[in-house]
Amino acid sequence: MKNVKLTMLTALLCCSLFFSSCIGSFKLWNNLKTWNEGVGDKFVNELVFLAFNIIPVYPVCYLVDVLVLNSIEFWTGESPMAKIGEVKEIKGETGEFVVTTIKNGYNIQKKGEKEEIILSFNQENKTWSASVEGKTNPLLTFKKDGTADLYLQDGKTINITLDQAGKTKIEKMLMNRTFSMK
107 Cβ contact list (under 8 Å, min separation 6):
99, 100, 116, 117, 118
Angle at 90 (CA atoms; ends 114, 27), nearest 5 degrees: 120
Closest CA to 107 of 90, 83, 124, 131: 131
Per-residue pLDDT at 37:
85
Global pTM reads 0.52
- Rounded to the nearest integer, the mean pLDDT of the chain is 75
- Residue 56: asked if its preceding bond is cis (omega within 30°), the reply is yes
Is 80 exceeded by the pLDDT of residue 124? yes
Q: Give the percent of the chain with pLDDT over 90.
A: 0
179 Cβ contact list (under 8 Å, min separation 6):
none
All structural domains of the chain with their residue ranges? 2-180
Q: Give me the count of residues in the chain.
A: 182
